[in-house]
């Protein structure tokens, strides 16, 4: 039977006072919910992929009362309660504002199960974006006091710190914090963490070129990983390269609609951004094995046979296809 984790995104969209000071470069303040909600949604996805059942105790953008949140978790018999927040000091960017991450458990529980769970989460939070680690503390917060299961509240930065405030809108940071929470929860419950692998993978050795990619009329971002949330390495120019020649780069790996060009990735959803030309033959006559869901289905020197096996795998819904040189 799967563990049930209750997830609380802290505050509603319009909770009074839960926002940064006014940020002139944005022309507005940032609401705490703009971090809490997407982070908890990412965490929800992470935990489900790892086999947990989850319960969102404050769904939607309405500001649910604290009592309704804890009652919902208690009624469902959740095994743990996680509440994600962003801290605040004095509501101003002036002065030497504190920064960093803190975790909270109910008084007297620091050396009990809740403290152990907080420690597991803290282990991974400390490995992520460099922030001041403020430790695991005790507090008489409603969501820690009124829950009938182990409960941890995390503060993942300070809204009134001029640098950390901008992290609230950073989707890479939101996802990173969610992953760190998920890894800690997995450790505590002795559940294997399953990393996200959203698309089939078709790859050869890094020194083997699968084909060529001609950049289309639109500029594209060259990313560290095959994900729109991955950091951008640089922008590839649109159209043509130097001296009017087509901008052509070598293709090394395909992952869904993502193409790896050297050490970076571009998205080519529906073929709208680039033209891909796969090589007809292996340039050195090598033989490649096709592995589907961990099982070899054949070894081929002809690209047509390789492509046929890949096509069949995709059409049948297989989600892990690899091509390796023999």
* Residue-level pLDDT at 196: 78
Q: Looking at the whole model, is its pTM more than 0.75?
A: no
Question: Strand 133-138 relative to strand 53-56: parallel, antiparallel, unpaired?
Answer: unpaired
Query: What distance in Å separates the CA atoms of residue 265 and residue 220, rounded to the nearest whole number?
Result: 10
Pick from 320, 188, 312, 211: nearest CA to 268: 211
Whether residue 102 has pLDDT greater than 90: yes
Q: What is the pLDDT of residues 161-211, one digit of tens each?
A: 888 888 888 888 899 999 999 999 999 999 999 987 644 444 444 446 677
Q: Domains of the chain, with CATH numbers?
A: 4-189 (3.40.630.40), 201-325 (no CATH)
* Residue-level pLDDT at 230: 77
Query: What distance in Å separates the CA atoms of residue 228 and residue 198, rounded to the nearest whole number?
Result: 12
* Weakest mean pLDDT among 4-8, 193-197, 213-217: 213-217
Say if residues 246 and 237 touch (Cβ distance below 8 Å): no
* Residue-level pLDDT at 302: 60
147 Cα distance to chain centroid: 28
């Amino acid at each position: 039977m799967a563990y049930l984790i209750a997830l609380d995104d802290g505050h509603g969209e319009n909770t009074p006072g839960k926002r940064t000071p006014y940020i002139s470069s944005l022309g507005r303040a940032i609401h705490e919910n703009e971090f809490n909600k997407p982070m908890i949604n990412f965490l929800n996805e992470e935990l489900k992929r790892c086999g947990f059942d989850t319960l969102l105790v404050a769904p939607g953008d309405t500001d649910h009362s604290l009592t309704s949140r804890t009652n919902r978790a208690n009624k469902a018999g959740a095994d743990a309660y996680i509440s994600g927040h962003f801290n605040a000091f004095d509501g101003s960017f002036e002065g030497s504002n504190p920064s960093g991450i803190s975790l909270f458990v109910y008084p007297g529980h620091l050396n009990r199960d809740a403290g152990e769970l907080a420690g597991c989460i803290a282990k991974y939070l400390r490995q992520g974006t460099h922030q001041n680690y403020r430790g695991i503390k005790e507090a008489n917060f409603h969501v820690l006091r009124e829950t009938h299961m182990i409960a941890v509240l995390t503060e993942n930065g300070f809204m009134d710190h001029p640098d950390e405030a901008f992290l609230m809108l950073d989707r890479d940071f939101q996802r990173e914090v969610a992953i760190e929470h998920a890894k800690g929860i997995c450790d505590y419950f002795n559940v294997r963490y399953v990393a996200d692998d959203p698309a089939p993978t078709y790859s050869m050795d890094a020194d083997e070129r699968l084909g060529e990619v001609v950049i289309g009329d639109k500029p594209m971002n060259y990313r560290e990983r095959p994900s729109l949330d991955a950091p951008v390495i640089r922008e590839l120019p649109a159209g043509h390269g130097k001296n009017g020649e087509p901008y052509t780069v070598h293709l090394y790996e395909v992952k869904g609609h993502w193409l790896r060009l050297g050490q970076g990735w571009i998205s080519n959803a529906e073929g709208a951004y680039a033209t891909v030309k796969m090589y007809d033959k292996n340039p050195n006559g090598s033989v490649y094995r096709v592995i589907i869901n961990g099982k070899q289905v054949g070894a081929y020197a002809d690209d047509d046979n390789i492509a046929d096996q890949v096509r069949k795998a995709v059409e049948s819904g297989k989600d892990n296809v690899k091509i390796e040189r023999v």
